[in-house]
A and B are shown apart, each in its own frame.
Chain A
Amino acid sequence: MSKALKLPIVELPENIDKLRDEVRSFIAEERSKGTFEPQCDSWLGGFSAEFSRKLGERGWIGMTWPKKYGGHERSSLERFVVTEELLAAGAPVAAHWIADRQSGTLLLRYGTEEQRNFYLPKIAKGESYFVIGLSEPNSGSDLASLSSMATKADGGWVLNGSKLWTSGAHHSHYMIALVRTAPLNPENRHQGLSQFVVDLAAPGVTVRPIRLMTGEHHFNEVIFEDVFIPDGSLVGKVGDGWKQGMAELAYERSGPERFLSTLPLLTELLNTIQLDPDRHTKIEVGKLVARLWTLRKMSLGVAGLLEKGVTPSLMAALVKDLGTQFEKQLAETARLLVSSNPSVTSSSAFERRLAEAILHSPGFTLRGGTTEILRGIIAKEVVAK
Chain B
Amino acid sequence: MSEIREMLVESATKIMKDFCTKELINEAESGVWAEDLWNIVEESGLTTIAVPEEAGGTGGSYGDALSLLRIAGKYSAPIPLAETLLANWLLAEVGLPISSKPLTLSPVDNNVVTFNETEGGWGVSGIVKQVPWASLVEGIVVVGKFKDQYMIAKIDPNNCLISQGSNLAGEPRNNIEIQNQFVPSNGVAFGTDGLVSRFAHLGILVKSVLMAGALERVLELTTAYTKERSQFGRPIHRFQAIQHHLASLSGETAAAKVVTDYGIEAIDINQFETEAMIAKIRVGEAASISVPIAHQVLGAIGFTDEHILQHSTRRLWAWRDENGTEVEWAEKFGEQVINAGPEALWPSVTGINKNPISSH
Q: Give residues in A with beta carbon < 8 Å to B.
A: 1-2, 5-7, 9, 11, 17, 20-21, 84, 88-89, 263, 266-268, 270-271, 273-274, 277, 279, 281-287, 289-298, 301, 315, 318, 321-322, 372, 374-376, 378-380, 382-383
Contacts and interface: CB of A to CB of B under 8 A. Distances in A.
Nearest to B222: A382
Contact of B345 (A266, A273, A279): A266
B253 A5 contact: yes
Interface string B194-217: 000000000000000000000010
B261 interface: yes
B258 A282 contact: no
Given A84-B350, A379-B246, A383-B223, A289 B258 contact: no
B63 to A, nearest CB: 11
B251 A378 contact: yes
Contacts of B285: 287, 290-291
Interface stretch (B28-36, B99-107, B327-335): B327-335
Nearest to A318: B251
B341 A379 contact: no
A383 B246 contact: yes
B273 to A, nearest CB: 14
Given A20-B350, A296-B349, A284 B334 contact: yes
Interface string B201-245: 000000000000000100110010011000000000100101110
B247 A375 contact: yes
Interface in B233-276: 237, 240, 242-244, 246-248, 250-251, 253-255, 257-259, 261-262, 265
B255 A294 contact: yes
B243 A9 contact: no
Interface in B318-360: 326-327, 329-335, 337-338, 341-342, 345-346, 349-350, 352
B282 interface: yes
Contacts of A282: 330-332, 334-335, 338
B338 A318 contact: no
B287 interface: no
Contacts of B352: 17, 20-21
A304 to B, nearest CB: 11
A286 B330 contact: yes
B79 interface: no
Contacts of B278: 289-290, 293-294
B348 to A, nearest CB: 9
Task: Report the interface size class on chain B.
Answer: 35 or more
A294 B240 contact: no
B237 A6 contact: no
B226 A283 contact: no
Nearest to B257: A1
Residue from the set A7, A17, A285, A315 with the largest chain B CB neighbour count within 10 Å: A285
B345 A298 contact: no
A20 to B, nearest CB: 6
A315 B331 CA distance: 30
B254 A7 contact: yes
Contacts of A6: 257
16 contacts: A7-B257, A9-B262, A84-B350, A281-B338, A286-B334, A289-B333, A289-B349, A290-B330, A292-B349, A293-B278, A296-B349, A298-B255, A298-B258, A321-B251, A379-B243, A383-B237
A322 B259 CA distance: 14
B108 interface: no
Given A263-B346, A383-B226, A298 B254 contact: yes
A294 B259 contact: yes
Contacts of B281: 286-287, 290
Nearest to A272: B342
A330 B327 CA distance: 17
B346 A267 contact: yes
B276 to A, nearest CB: 11
A270 B216 contact: no
Contacts of B326: 287
Contacts of B255: 294-295, 298, 322
Contacts of A2: 219-220, 223
B247 A318 contact: yes
Nearest first, the 6 A-B pairs at minimum CB distance are A286-B334, A286-B330, A379-B243, A375-B247, A282-B334, A285-B334
Given A286-B329, A290-B281, A297 B262 contact: yes
Contacts of A292: 349
Contacts of B246: 375, 378-379, 382-383
